[in-house]
Amino acid sequence: MTLPILAVTIGDVAGIGPEITAKSLLGHDDVRTRCIPVVIGDEAAMRRGVLNVGGDPAAIRVIKTVAEARNVPGTIELLQTGPSLENVQQGVLSAAAGDASYRFVVEACRLARAGEVQGIVTAPLNKAAMHEGGHNWPGHTELLAHEFGVKNFSLVLSAGDLYFFHLTTHVSMRQAIENITVERTLSVLELAGAFAKSMGKPDEIIGLAGLNPHAGENRLFGDEDADILAPAVAMARARGLNVEGPLPGDALIPAAVRGKYNLAVVCYHDQGHAPFKAVYGDDGVNITVGLPVVRVSVDHGTAFDIAGKGIAREASLVLSLERAAELAPGWDHVWKTAQAA
């Protein structure tokens, strides 16, 4: 079987990205039986990352093209992207590092559009640093959507068979409420349905969390659930989707964790992220659904406070590589199903 090639971006080099990349690729040879990882980043930053975790920088092999990758255990095959970042200080917000993290993602997208890689795995970037570097994106998800020219997409947190789709992500609460429309809600419900269909589960129940406490409690705590979410649910059901809701978030999410729902749609960032991280920690990953290639990311930040100490855990990045390798071969079906929806 041909292994999928994954572009692995190292994120903000002032953070823990290079370290967890080094630990993942030098300490988990079994990952290479599932995929061919090609690092998109900076040689100087990766050398430092390898040294920080007690490795030998000679393991780094700079290649010019993806086709040169040999997937040899104990090596890190890297495409140098842009000028050297050897002067970037670890643990310190840096415009140079922010600019580079943007460039790594753009290059990974270019390789994906060219068909040279079948998936993208991202180490964390720092949004403030990326903004300092001149790239005003809320985060990875929105940048990736822009690079691929897609409008209908969702950040999805996943652990095992559980998937949390998000109506909104990296915006203020005030903006999130404004962004939650019937059209947006319906589009994400359709994405969730397309994802379920691509996995051979077209009748999978999709639970939609309410925006307000108690899902509005018959308008006692706001009108959005009745005026926006409920009509979207009705429209989704009319299109054949098995949707329940809007349900109180404090009822839906515990039920999903217990296995009643494998697909849940939440309204805003912390409604999904806070309970998900509390329960799953390093066992969770971040998937972007709605892109033409699979993209999986760690579900944690750049951790400037421990950068350079070699103590950052690589578990989430290893899981991201494994999940991307698992999803990549069938992702074209996910993409076509989502487009049809």
CA angle 6, 283, 308 (to 5 degrees): 70
Q: Output the pTM of the full model.
A: 0.91
Decide if pLDDT at 156 tops 70. yes
Task: Residue 88: count other Cβ atoms within 10 Å of its Cβ.
Answer: 21
Q: Which pLDDT tens digit goes with each residue over 58-97?
A: 999 999 999 999 999 999 999 999 999 999 999 999 999 9
Mean pLDDT computed over 122-151:
94
User: Do residues 80 and 47 make contact, with C-beta atoms less than 8 angstroms apart?
Assistant: no
- Ordered domains of the chain (ranges, CATH): 1-151+290-330 (3.40.718.10), 154-286 (3.40.718.10)
Q: Which pLDDT tens digit goes with each residue over 23-58?
A: 999 999 999 999 999 999 999 999 999 999 999 999
User: Do residues 39 and 108 make contact, with C-beta atoms less than 8 angstroms apart?
Assistant: no
CA angle 145, 321, 314 (to 5 degrees): 110
pLDDT value of position 18: 98
- SS3 of residue 334 by DSSP: helix
Q: How far apart are CA 208 and CA 249, in angstroms?
A: 8
